[in-house]
Structure 1
Amino acid sequence: MNFKATHLKPFGVIVEPVVQGMNVKELDLKSLHQFFLQEQIVVLRGFSTFRDSEDFAKYCELWGEISIWPFGKVLELIEQDNPQDHIFDHRYVPMHWDGMYRPQVPEYQIFHCVKAPLPGHGGRTTFSNTVLALKNAAPELKELWGKVTGIYQRKMEFYNSKTVSPIITKHPRRDFSVIRYNEPPCEGKDFVNPPDLEFAGVPGEKVKEFHQGLQDALYSPANFYAHEWQDGDVVITDNFSLLHGREGFTSKSPRHLQRVQVQSSPPFNNPGLESYK
């Protein structure tokens, strides 16, 4: 084999070349897709990668149909001087799933690290495996979560949308349940352009218990992985099974990620979208 694979904890796999100088495009996509189904995160590290964003997009098209945004295929995640939204800020981002405010929810998130933050400067991308979170949760917690529906509204440059989703729902393509949750921002932490969040089905005296139990599960070491970026990393993640966020990083640290969203086959129409502009 032209690569070695090492399992990450508590989930995920890192794939590295056996021969120096190997390009990521030389990897067998069938093998990578099998890793994706089994592990939910595939990290490709140590390979030569892409000439530019167009070259990156062409690689992502090998995985399926790309979700097109007003800016095109590739989102350049770089801190802006006066960000109007948290995706362009340096501060932390709570757990959520991508496409929750869009007509279709992508299955794959594919990231390319053009430039990693300096060592010790933060900026890890955080992931919670909600399949594991449900497996490891106490029955009484799952019973509470199963009664709750999240109502989410968010306005930003690319959309103004409202979506409604049960906390526990079925995976769109596979026979198991997942968690869909937009984590409220932590008290005392600055957060640019937060969404409006409401949670129905939980009694007032149980609201704190609901959020605390869910957050404890999502961030438990048994269910949680934080990816520390290195230059050239390519990371493929399962947006149907995972929630993700971002740790804050030192402002002006050179963190530059590119992100492409790839649809499932067939594309998955967002079941909870109530309004979209």
Structure 2
Amino acid sequence: MSLAQHQKLGPFGVLVQAASPGANPSALAPEELRALVREHHILVLRGFRNFADAEDLTAWCGTLGEIMMWPFGAVLELVEAEEPTDHIFDHSYVPLHWDGMYKPLIPEFQVFQCVSAPGEGNGGRTTFSDSSGVLASAGPETVERWSRVTVTYRIQNKVHYGGQAVSPLVVPHPATGAPTMRFNEPPIADDATFLNRPSHSFDGVADEDVPALLEELQKALYDPRHYYAHDWVDGDLVITDNYTLLHGREAFTHRAPRHLRRVHVLGDPPFKNPAL
């Protein structure tokens, strides 16, 4: 099955519709899938055979590369918990971040399967910011100033991640060396409902200038030229570029049926986390 017929999603990303409903995604060449994601940063496969369960999804993801394992296994079930202790399993928004920031290895790809969409009007879109595009649009003085900033992040290990990560705002892409951004956006300052709030400390910028820096970063990362929010459709299969993008989530209606599965696929060779 050819991937040549694809359409643009937004400022970045492409959509491939199945040639016939329920077509097998295993017929798609893994090397072509990887190439499309590296070029366009997001690849949405829609209308293909739905995976029956987490094991079925895992087997397919293994064709894309080495799967990154977590204490829970390969598949993270992203669904609102009965009694959440962390924002990931709440129905709140999730600030922009990159995956693996507290782990020894950083995955190159994220694979999401939409088991159940949130439903119209319920929110819950997954948000993406193309950091390479943000840097390309910023002036040289701005990029140079951002490049001097290093952020230390700390968060309690209440679920499957936590600890401390220290990263410059601007880092080279692990494979191409092109400039990208690594940033975990702070939650809204006065949001007392946000679960398991991380702490941030900044080096390379004066304390009194941090609020202006955060405002500047938010404006740049949410610029419509470099920002995309994905409306989930049941059965969507989405592969994303974790080396280049930052991602988050919009809040969704409490007890809406939003259910995603996520698998991480490592690069070749696997990329050791420089933030630890």
Q: TM-score category by the smaller chain?
A: over 0.9
How many residues are matched?
A: 273
Write the deviation string for residues 96-128 of structure 1: whole angstroms up to 9, x where unpaired: 000000011111100000000010110000000
* Residue in 2 that maps onto 1:222: 225
* Residue in 1 that maps onto 2:112: 111
Matched, 1:192 2:195: yes
1:2–1:19 CA contact under 8 A, matched in 2: no
1:110–1:260 CA contact under 8 A, matched in 2: yes
SS of the residue corresponding to residue 219 of structure 2 reads helix
Write the deviation string for residues 231-277 of structure 1: whole angstroms up to 9, x where unpaired: 0000000000000000000010000000001111111111111xxxx
2:132–2:180 CA contact under 8 A, matched in 1: yes
Deviation of the 1:2 alpha carbon: 5.0
5 Å matches for 1:1-277?
2=2, 4-155=5-156, 156-189=158-191, 190-273=193-276
AA aligned to 1:95 is L
2:31–2:64 CA contact under 8 A, matched in 1: no
Q: Unaligned 5+ residue runs, structure 2?
A: none
Deviation of the 1:139 alpha carbon: 2.7
Which range moved further: 82-91 or 202-211?
A: 202-211
**How far apart are the structure 1 equivalents of 2:30 and 2:105?**
24
AA aligned to 2:187 is P
**How far apart are the structure 1 equivalents of 2:49 and 2:237?**
10
Q: Unaligned 5+ residue runs, structure 1?
A: none
SS of the residue corresponding to residue 150 of structure 1 reads strand
Aligned-residue Cα RMSD (Å) equals 1.3
AA aligned to 1:246 is R
1:141–1:213 CA contact under 8 A, matched in 2: no
SS of the residue corresponding to residue 6 of structure 2 reads strand
1:10–1:225 CA contact under 8 A, matched in 2: yes
AA aligned to 1:253 is A
Deviation of the 1:29 alpha carbon: 2.0
TM-score, structure 1 normalization = 0.95
**How far apart are the structure 2 equivalents of 1:258 and 1:20?**
21
SS of the residue corresponding to residue 56 of structure 2 reads helix
AA aligned to 1:77 is L
AA aligned to 2:212 is E
**How far apart are the structure 1 equivalents of 2:70 and 2:33?**
26
1:154–1:196 CA contact under 8 A, matched in 2: yes
**How far apart are the structure 1 equivalents of 2:141 and 2:93?**
30
SS of the residue corresponding to residue 205 of structure 1 reads helix
2:22–2:50 CA contact under 8 A, matched in 1: no
**How far apart are the structure 2 equivalents of 1:205 and 1:195?**
20
SS of the residue corresponding to residue 109 of structure 1 reads strand
1:110–1:236 CA contact under 8 A, matched in 2: yes
**How far apart are the structure 1 equivalents of 2:228 and 2:42?**
10
2:128–2:229 CA contact under 8 A, matched in 1: yes
AA aligned to 2:248 is G
1:144–1:210 CA contact under 8 A, matched in 2: no
**How far apart are the structure 2 equivalents of 1:251 and 1:26?**
38
SS of the residue corresponding to residue 38 of structure 2 reads helix
2:154–2:163 CA contact under 8 A, matched in 1: yes
**How far apart are the structure 1 equivalents of 2:37 and 2:184?**
23
Deviation of the 1:159 alpha carbon: 4.0
AA aligned to 1:202 is V
**How far apart are the structure 1 equivalents of 2:68 and 2:116?**
24
AA aligned to 1:204 is D
